[in-house]
Amino acid sequence: MKALFKEGTGKAKYLIPLALFLLGVILIIAGMILGGNGGSRSVFSSLTGQSRESELEAKIKSLCEQVDGVSEVTVAVSLTDTSAEATAGNIAGVGIVCRGGEDPLISARLTSLISAACGIRSNRIYVTGAGN
């Protein structure tokens, strides 16, 4: 590899590093243009329609119901901008009320699950137990 950078004199010795640099820049730009969001997927990656909160709530409820020890799940999602596409950036908060939610271990599991699935920080998620 050192031979590539030492060969040549004058302008020619800078041609290969410059070409490699430009190729890198082109690849980065092409990835940003063609890749969109970098291929990352989340719970809300396919949401469409007027009621984004309702769709997101249904998806989160379905996830929560699959956790051992959780039942009777109710989910409330608040978006900062309901006209925009649902993204992690516009989820103001997620509230989950469920049987089992009073257990700190289950609450922590649900918080981690929703944080990872939605790509939001755990301080935007609140889990509590359902009343009798």
Do 75 and 18 belong together in one domain? Answer: no
Asked whether the predicted pLDDT for residue 122 surpasses 80, the reply is yes
Give per-residue pLDDT as tens, 38-81: 444 556 555 554 467 888 899 999 999 999 999 999 999 988 87
Q: How many residues does the chain have?
A: 132
Tell me, yes or no, whether 64 and 114 share the same domain.
Answer: yes
Domain containing 17: what range? 2-35
Element (H, E) at 126: strand 125-129
Same domain for 63 and 119? yes
Side chain identity at residue 121, one-letter code? R
* CA nearest to 56, candidates 75, 40, 70: 75
d(CA 87, CA 84): 8
Confidence (pTM)? 0.63
The answer on 29 and 72 residing in a single domain is no
DSSP string, 50-77: S-HHHHHHHHHHHHHHTSTT-EEEEEEE
